[in-house]
Structure 1
Amino acid sequence: MNQNQPFSKQWMFISFAIFIISEIILGGIIGHYVVGRYMSIHLRFMLQGLLNLISYFIGGFIIGLISPGIRIYEPAAGAFLSVAVMLLLTLFTPFSFLHFSLTKVLIGGGIAFFLALSGAKAGEKLAGNMH
């Protein structure tokens, strides 16, 4: 496979959508088992955060499997973009504890970037595109 193919914005936006879809599916599966049960707000927040993080790895993995050629940077960039968009939405919330910050974008985006990159590499390996 050609590892020097150009960066694809199309696959970056496809990745962005897949991250949202994978989080909805994961949330639906896990939510089925926890909705209506007692749990502390802290545990619920932790589960939501873990599902969010797992969705970046799984989304990257899916892109690694289905994309033509080797696409590992597109899902990573899409993950960073999804964190940035999510944090931009905090500009429209009335809560003071949910505020936009460049530090949050860099740290959260960096974590999402790494998870999606790792998932994409694993997907490409399984697809036989990387060694």
Structure 2
Amino acid sequence: MFGNLDWRWIGIGVAIMFGLNILASLILVALMGDSLPPTTADPQDAAQALGGGRLLLGALIGIASFAIGGYIVGRKSPGRTILEPGISAAIAVLIGLLLSGAFTLGNLLTGGLLPFLAGLLGGYLGERQQTQHAVVDR
């Protein structure tokens, strides 16, 4: 099921997921506009300023971007592995944390778990779709 990892597709997955995450951020800015807290705000203050509904919407859009990226990688990559999209999601989170200056091991573990799982789910669904198309095409 896991086979050998294709690092080329992991790299492609990182690019796809990082790009989709930036797109998700732009969508959130468009939806929330002036209600977003300043980037210098303490994370707890920022979460409180957003409120539960907006925080949940942001989390769902972000997680969806990793699941969609995982689906694309699972659907397009040759071979059968769902780990590639999960690893891609974790690396994309790592890059985002490094670029934002918020990298800590705790942030990587807490901020990377759901994207990793979403990438796995998307990869699984993409692999299923790829397998179904291969059976129909024969």
What range describes the TM-score normalised by the shorter chain of this pair?
A: 0.7 to 0.9
2:134 matches 1:128: no
Q: 1:81 to 1:36 in 2, by over 3 A?
A: closer
Matches within 5 A, 1:51-70: 51-70=61-80
**Structure 2 residue aligned with 1:19:** 17
Q: Give the aligned CA root-mean-square deviation in angstroms.
A: 2.8
Contact 1:63–1:71 (8 Å) recurs in 2? no
The one-character-per-residue Cα deviations of 1:70-114 (angstroms, maximum 9, x if unpaired) are: 1311111111111111112233xxxxxxx4321110122222111
Contact 2:13–2:73 (8 Å) recurs in 1? yes
Cα shift at 1:47: 3.5
Aligned to 2:3, the other structure's residue is in SS state coil
Matches within 5 A, 1:33-52: 34=31, 42=50, 46-52=56-62
Aligned to 2:107, the other structure's residue is in SS state helix
**Structure 1 residue aligned with 2:83:** 73
**Structure 2 residue aligned with 1:94:** none
Counterpart-to-counterpart distance in 1, 2:28 and 2:99: 25
Cα shift at 1:56: 0.6
Q: Tell me, which stretches of 5 or more residues in structure 1 are unaligned? A: 92-98
Seq. identity, %? 31
Tell me which protein shows more helix as a share of its residues. 2
TM-score normalised according to structure 2 size: 0.70
What amino acid is the match of 2:14? F
99-108 or 9-18, larger mean C-alpha shift: 99-108
Cα shift at 1:28: 5.4
Q: Tell me, which stretches of 5 or more residues in structure 2 are unaligned? A: 38-48, 133-138
Counterpart-to-counterpart distance in 2, 1:36 and 1:101: 28
